[in-house]
């Protein structure tokens, strides 16, 4: 791991570490990143056009089917060494905040507590009309290879359609999570930005907030992003390899 001793010492002194993750942290668990998630039946779709309230209103079966297919994939997946290393940081630093853009639950399954989900969770459907929570039947949905359109179930209270519990383009982020994420970005002394393209706002502004404040900022991504030259350290490579090595080097063996 190519990291200066001076930076390691500064990281060891950090009282509050914020770990900010995107789809790349789950890629090595076999979950396609947001922009890679359009294969099978959906390969000719545009992710940014499918993840909208307008798309759901126009073609609920197409959108619900896409999420059921992805939910089946998440239920079969396991946390990878990056999720586990992030969970292992809890208790090693005085304060740790995990903020994720991901709609899967792999941080929780790896053992992280109090994860702030900025874009909601795939396993928390709610009614598109009365907004009361709905529920999935237990188990993994039996989705065919490549997926299929599927009519959403109806709300037991008002008969409206259930929708996935995620935040679509044009929708507000959950207020409590967003406020807590901003407060953490404003008070952390180290900020790890892992596996995100940093193009979706307002989530991506958390990193720029931390950069502006002078926190130590470390990006982990195998591909370039617009933040490569703004962060304190850019670690190029897969999260499942880089994150455990970073945690090990700075905070001791996992």
Binding-site ranges for ligand BJW (CB under 6 A): 22-24, 27-28, 33-35, 48, 51, 101, 103, 119, 166-172, 195-197, 199-202, 220-223, 225, 238-239
The Cα 77–Cα 143 span in angstroms is 15
CB of 128 to Zn ion, least distance (A): 8
Give which of ligand BJW, Zn ion, none residue 252 binds (C-beta under 5 to 8 Å, depending on kind).
none
The Cα 186–Cα 36 span in angstroms is 32
Cα dist from 131 to 101, 121, 125, 157, 171, whole Å: 21, 15, 9, 10, 14
CB of 186 to Zn ion, least distance (A): 37
Give which of ligand BJW, Zn ion, none residue 69 binds (C-beta under 5 to 8 Å, depending on kind).
none
Nearest alpha-carbon partner for 217 in 246, 247, 191, 198: 191
Q: What is the dihedral of CA 111, 183, 246, 202, to 10 degrees?
A: 100
CB of 166 to Zn ion, least distance (A): 17
- Number of neighbouring beta carbons within 10 Å of residue 35: 12
For ligand BJW, the closer CB: 26 or 232: 26
Our answer to whether residue 157 is catalytic in this structure is no
Please tell me which residue in 83, 107, 117, 119 is annotated as part of the active site.
119
The Cα 86–Cα 239 span in angstroms is 11
For ligand BJW, the closer CB: 196 or 232: 196
Give which of ligand BJW, Zn ion, none residue 127 binds (C-beta under 5 to 8 Å, depending on kind).
Zn ion
The Cα 182–Cα 134 span in angstroms is 29
Sheet holding 16-21, edge to edge: 115-117, 95-100, 16-21, 190-194, 216-220, 233-235
Rule CB under 5 A: which residues touch Zn ion?
A: 127, 129-130, 155, 157-158, 160
CB of 52 to ligand BJW, least distance (A): 9
The Cα 201–Cα 192 span in angstroms is 18
For Zn ion, the closer CB: 18 or 127: 127
CB of 230 to ligand BJW, least distance (A): 15
For Zn ion, the closer CB: 127 or 204: 127
* Paired tokens of 178: 């967003």
For ligand BJW, the closer CB: 51 or 246: 51
| Catalytic residue annotation | 119
């Amino acid at each position: 791991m190519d990291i200066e001793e001076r930076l390691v010492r500064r990281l060891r002194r950090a009282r509050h570490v914020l770990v900010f993750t995107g789809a790349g942290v789950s890629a090595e668990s076999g979950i396609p990143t947001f922009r890679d998630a359009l294969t099978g039946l959906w390969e000719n779709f545009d992710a940014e056009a499918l993840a909208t309230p307008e798309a759901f209103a126009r073609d609920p079966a197409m959108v619900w089917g896409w999420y059921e297919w992805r939910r089946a994939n998440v239920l079969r997946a396991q946390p990878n060494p990056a999720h586990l290393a992030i969970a292992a940081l809890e208790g090693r630093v005085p304060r740790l905040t995990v903020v994720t853009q991901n709609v899967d639950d792999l941080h929780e399954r790896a053992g992280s507590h109090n994860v702030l989900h900025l874009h909601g969770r795939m396993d928390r459907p709610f009614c598109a009309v009365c907004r009361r929570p709905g529920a999935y039947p237990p188990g993994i949905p039996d989705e065919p290879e490549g997926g299929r359109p599927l009519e959403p179930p109806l709300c037991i209270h008002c008969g409206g359609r259930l929708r996935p519990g995620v935040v679509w383009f044009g929708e507000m982020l959950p207020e409590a999570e967003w406020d807590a994420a901003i407060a953490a970005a404003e008070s952390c002394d180290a900020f790890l930005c892992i596996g995100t393209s940093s193009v979706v706002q307002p989530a991506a502004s958390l990193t720029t907030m931390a950069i502006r404040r002078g926190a130590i900022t470390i990006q982990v991504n195998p591909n370039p992003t617009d933040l490569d030259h703004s962060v304190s350290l850019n670690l190029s490579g897969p999260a499942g390899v880089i994150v455990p090595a970073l945690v090990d080097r700075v905070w001791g063996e996992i």
